[in-house]
Amino acid sequence: MAERVSMWIKSARLPDGQYGAEVTVDEDIVWSLGGMATLRYAAGVIAAAAQAEHDAKLMGVLRGTGMAEELAGSALVAVRQDRAKRKSRHNTRPLTITPGVSLFTGRAFLEVRHERPRVWQWTPDEARAHATAVLEVVAAAEEDNRVHRVLTGTYGLDAGRAAAVLDAMSRQEP
């Protein structure tokens, strides 16, 4: 059964010394995204949302034509099998995101799994909001890298003091 989780994203210093996105789920699951991995992750989340919506639309249209439920379901399985055969350039690790369609409402949803194990659901809109938040944090992390570089390079602050300035900035309202 899917559960509700608390999830947040912030700019953080990654092991390579650069700032990137740090994603946290319920305080005990944390992973980092930086560079192209961030774009592949966000694109994968958005692609899963689009797939769930397409699956729901397909089922709605097939049901609307009077097609038997079993046959409509078989068509959806065939579409999903074809999707699975195609190599995706997206990577949502450490999450596994599976598109779904509610048998009761016909609405699209996403089942989200983490290896810990943790399972929850997103609506397609929640998934897109998550992907957008990740991209926004990565944009902010680029600015964090710039500030860190200027403070340590141009102004000679040590890395710890520069990090403290960035930490204080993260709590400052715009």
Give residue-wise pLDDT tens across range 112-166.
Answer: 998 877 899 999 999 999 999 999 999 999 999 999 999 999 999 999 999 999 9
Looking at the domain assignment, is residue 61 inside a domain? yes
Looking at the domain assignment, is residue 1 inside a domain? no
The parent domain of residue 53 ranges over 7-170
Looking at the domain assignment, is residue 46 inside a domain? yes
DSSP 8-state assignment for residue 89: S
First to last CA, the chain: 39
Residues 6+ apart with CB under 8 A from 157: 151, 165
Give the Cα separation of 169 and 174 in Å (integer).
9
Closest by alpha carbon to 14, among 36, 39, 28, 33?
Answer: 33
Name the average pLDDT for the chain.
92
- For the chain, what is the domain count? 1
Looking at the domain assignment, is residue 2 inside a domain? no
